[in-house]
């Protein structure tokens, strides 16, 4: 039964996805099963999404090596999905530098690149203990956030499906270190961000972005790292996705699990969740009005502290999910650790790394939100072909209009 329950957090019946691949292995692979037939696939959109994830001020040297592109192996023919499982391959350009040290065959043990002392905050120690490895090389290879590129590839496919329902998913960066934007950022401001030729910190407020950049510079100079917070916004989501009927079918629970599953995310917030805990109910809940015709049934809200979800169900407002990122755990001036072999105190291992990845994590979280919403939409509307899904979707839209 646990297998069944884990699968339910992804989708009740239809949409499933998995990834494989090591950070410095030959390639990443992602599978997406359950997409209806007939969704147009725009290769340049997929690659643009992958590009967006690679950007951001504070990325390390690796991003000069990689230029991610989604090589679709199956499930898409003549530019459309065919209802068969989709497999996507993302080549690791860095593989040529690791072929000998990470060979699939037994290879030459002298060429193996050990991670001699675990980095506090990384999966190194917990993973080595769990899998009974004498050091942490294999742990970091899979725990690495490189894996999130594979999620972005399949997430982009579900974004194309959601677009057919009029739903868009994007993100922006709210804070880096101690520098944060003050106040709400509108959908139009967020929608303008992907148009920029330079991602920088993907912050919609220019002055704050400059302060964020200074935070990254400070971390770079001192051999430290810096975390922050991104917000994913799903625009034009109709009321009725997710349900309170079972704990694992709640949209907020599914979104929280999806975003929390991203590397370095340590907290997830829906709407104004954190501030709400310290505020009176009258200052939190979003008062209801009525003004026909509205986007959906005609009910309106004065604000959106609920982040578009009440009772585990989308309520027709924008869905707003925030992810809080710990600072990267690889530090150029490392913290104290212990040598795996000698158990003597040493400094934690260091190898090339990023200093700040908040904008990239935001893009990966968009993919997780898109995969989750697409799963919920397919649970609700079903359909083996896009035409069938859209017929059911339009019937429901009509029901909302007539409510
Ligand atoms: C990562 C460390 C860095 C990052 C990597 C994640 O890689 P490397 O050790 O090869 O320099 O650049 O992220 C990616 C490669 C990516 O595509 O996001 C880590 O240890 O988590």
The answer to whether the beta carbons of residues 334 and 350 sit under 8 Å apart is yes
Residue whose CB lies within 8 A of the most ligand 1 atoms, among 27, 62, 262, 332, for a mutation test: 62
Tokens (6 digits) for 370: 């898109």
The contacts of residue 184 (CB under 8 Å, 6+ apart) are none
> Strand runs (DSSP E) across 192-262, as ranges?
228-235
Tell me the pLDDT of the chain (403 aa) as tens digits.
Answer: 444 445 555 555 689 999 999 999 999 999 999 999 999 999 999 999 999 999 999 999 999 999 999 999 999 999 999 999 999 999 999 999 999 999 999 999 999 999 999 999 999 999 999 999 999 999 999 999 999 999 999 999 999 999 999 999 999 999 999 999 998 899 999 999 999 999 999 999 999 999 999 999 999 999 999 999 999 999 999 999 999 999 999 999 999 999 999 999 999 999 999 999 999 999 999 999 999 888 899 999 999 999 999 999 999 999 999 999 999 999 999 999 999 999 999 999 998 899 999 999 999 999 999 999 999 999 999 999 999 999 999 999 999 999 9
351 CB near ligand 1 (under 6 Å): yes
What is the residue whose two structure tokens read 């699990």?
Answer: 257
pLDDT confidence of residue 316: 98
Give 102 Cα–ligand 1 centroid separation in angstroms. Answer: 16
9 CB near ligand 1 (under 6 Å): no
Atom of ligand 1 nearest to the CA of 351: 9
62 CB near ligand 1 (under 6 Å): yes
The answer to whether the beta carbons of residues 278 and 220 sit under 8 Å apart is no
Atom of ligand 1 nearest to the CA of 357: 18
3-state secondary structure of 227: coil
pLDDT confidence of residue 2: 47
pLDDT confidence of residue 293: 83
- How far apart are alpha carbons 228 and 211 in whole angstroms? 13
Angle, vertex CA 97, rays to CA 17 and CA 363, nearest 5: 35
92 CB near ligand 1 (under 6 Å): no
pLDDT confidence of residue 3: 46
Give 225 Cα–ligand 1 centroid separation in angstroms. Answer: 14
Give 14 Cα–ligand 1 centroid separation in angstroms. Answer: 32
Using alpha carbons, list the distances in angstroms from residue 20 to 30, 130, 131, 160, 319.
Answer: 6, 19, 17, 23, 29
Phi, psi of 392 (to 5 degrees): -65, -40
Give 139 Cα–ligand 1 centroid separation in angstroms. Answer: 13
264 CB near ligand 1 (under 6 Å): no
> Strand runs (DSSP E) across 133-203, as ranges?
168-176, 179-180
The contacts of residue 2 (CB under 8 Å, 6+ apart) are none
With 0-12 CB in 10 A as exposed, 13-18 as middle and 19+ as buried, what is 79? exposed
Give 59 Cα–ligand 1 centroid separation in angstroms. Answer: 9
Give 160 Cα–ligand 1 centroid separation in angstroms. Answer: 27
Longest dimension (CA), the chain: 72
Give 354 Cα–ligand 1 centroid separation in angstroms. Answer: 7
149 CB near ligand 1 (under 6 Å): yes
- How far apart are alpha carbons 302 and 89 in whole angstroms? 45
Angle, vertex CA 23, rays to CA 269 and CA 42, nearest 5: 70
- How far apart are alpha carbons 14 and 8 in whole angstroms? 10
Phi, psi of 254 (to 5 degrees): -70, -40
329 CB near ligand 1 (under 6 Å): no
Give 334 Cα–ligand 1 centroid separation in angstroms. Answer: 17
145 CB near ligand 1 (under 6 Å): yes
The contacts of residue 236 (CB under 8 Å, 6+ apart) are 166, 167, 168, 295
């Amino acid at each position: 039964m646990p297998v069944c329950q884990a699968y339910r957090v992804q989708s009740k019946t239809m949409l499933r996805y998995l990834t494989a691949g090591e950070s410095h292995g030959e390639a990443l692979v992602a599978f997406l099963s359950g997409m209806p037939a007939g969704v147009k696939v725009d290769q340049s959109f997929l690659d643009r999404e992958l590009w967006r994830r690679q950007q951001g001020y504070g990325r390390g040297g690796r991003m000069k090596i990689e230029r991610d592109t989604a090589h679709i192996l199956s499930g898409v023919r003549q530019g459309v999905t065919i209802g068969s499982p989709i497999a996507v391959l993302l080549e690791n350009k860095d593989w040529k530098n690791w072929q000998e040290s990470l060979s699939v065959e037994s290879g030459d043990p002298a060429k193996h690149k050990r991670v001699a002392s675990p980095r506090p905050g990384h999966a190194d120690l917990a993973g080595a203990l769990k899998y009974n490895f004498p050091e942490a090389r294999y742990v970091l290879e899979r725990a690495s956030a490189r894996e999130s590129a594979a999620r972005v590839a399949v997430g982009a496919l579900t974004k194309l499906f959601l677009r057919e329902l009029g739903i868009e998913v994007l993100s922006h960066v709210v804070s880096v270190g101690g520098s944060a934007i003050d106040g709400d950022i509108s959908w139009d401001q967020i929608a303008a961000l992907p148009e920029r030729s330079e991602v920088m910190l993907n912050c919609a407020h220019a002055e704050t972005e400059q302060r964020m950049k200074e935070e990254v510079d400070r971390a770079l100079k001192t051999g430290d790292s810096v975390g922050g917070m991104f917000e994913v916004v799903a625009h034009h989501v109709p009321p009725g996705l997710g349900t309170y009927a079972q704990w694992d079918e709640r949209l907020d629970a599914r979104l929280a699990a999806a975003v929390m599953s991203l590397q370095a995310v340590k907290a997830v917030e829906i709407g104004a969740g954190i501030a709400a805990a310290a505020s009176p109910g009258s200052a939190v809940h979003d008062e209801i009005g009525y003004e026909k015709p509205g986007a959906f049934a005609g009910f309106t809200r004065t604000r959106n502290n609920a982040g578009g979800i009440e009772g585990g169900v989308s309520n027709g407002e924008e869905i707003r999910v925030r992810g809080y990122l710990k600072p990267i755990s690889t530090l150029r001036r490392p913290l104290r650790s212990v040598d795996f072999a000698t158990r003597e105190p040493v400094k934690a291992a260091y190898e090339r790394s990023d200093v700040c990845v908040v904008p990239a994590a935001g893009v990966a979280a968009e993919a997780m939100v898109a995969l989750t919403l697409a799963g919920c939409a397919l649970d609700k509307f079903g359909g083996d072909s896009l035409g069938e899904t859209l017929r059911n979707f339009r019937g429901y839209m009509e029901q909302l209009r007539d409510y």
